[in-house]
Amino acid sequence: MVDVSIAQLLFVSFGIFCIGASGFLIRKNAISLLICLELMLNAVNIAFISFSRFHNNESGAVLYFFVITVAACETAVGLAIILNLFRLKKNIRIQEANALRG
């Protein structure tokens, strides 16, 4: 067990979330976007577990469980969409995935 304050853990979580969010906003590759999304979800999970430990309550771990469920669904569906995009356009650059722009 480590003797740290929750602020340090939240700082780590915030740093990883910022790196993931900036990568999500800057990258142009659809698979990289999904990977950055995973980073952000992981940062949120760290915050959940930190607060769970802080309050000595397992509810945070249960929320972590639901977050990874949603993350697994999102990854699977997102990769299937990317596969379809690749079949349609022969690349996965998000600038060219503008069919919904109208």
Partner 1 sequence: MMDLAFYLVAGLMLLSAGLVAYRPKPLESALWLILHFFLTSTLYVFLGADFVAVVQLLVYAGAIVVLFTFVILLLNLNPQEISGGESLRWTSTVLFLCALGAVLFCLHIASPSLLEKMPAAGPSFGSIEAFSRMMIQNYSWSFEIAGLLLLLAVVGVGLLAYRRPSHRKPKDLENKREAA
**Minimum gap (Å) between residue 98 Cβ and partner 1:** 14
Tell me if 34 sits within 8 A of 79, measured CB to CB.
yes
Residue 52: closest CA among 36, 65, 71 = 65
Q: Which is nearer to partner 1, 7 or 102 (CB)?
A: 7
State in angstroms the smallest separation of the CB of 22 from partner 1. 5
Tell whether residue 3 is a contact of partner 1 (CB under 8 A): yes
Query: Cβ neighbours of residue 50 under 8 Å, at least 6 residues apart?
Result: 6, 9, 10, 13, 60
Report which secondary-structure segment, H or E, holds 6: helix 6-26
For binding to partner 1 (CB under 8 A), which residues are involved?
Answer: 1-10, 12, 14-23, 25-29, 31-32, 34-36, 38-39, 42, 45-46, 49-50, 52-54, 56, 58-59, 61-62, 64-66, 68-73, 75-77, 79-84, 86-87, 91-93, 95
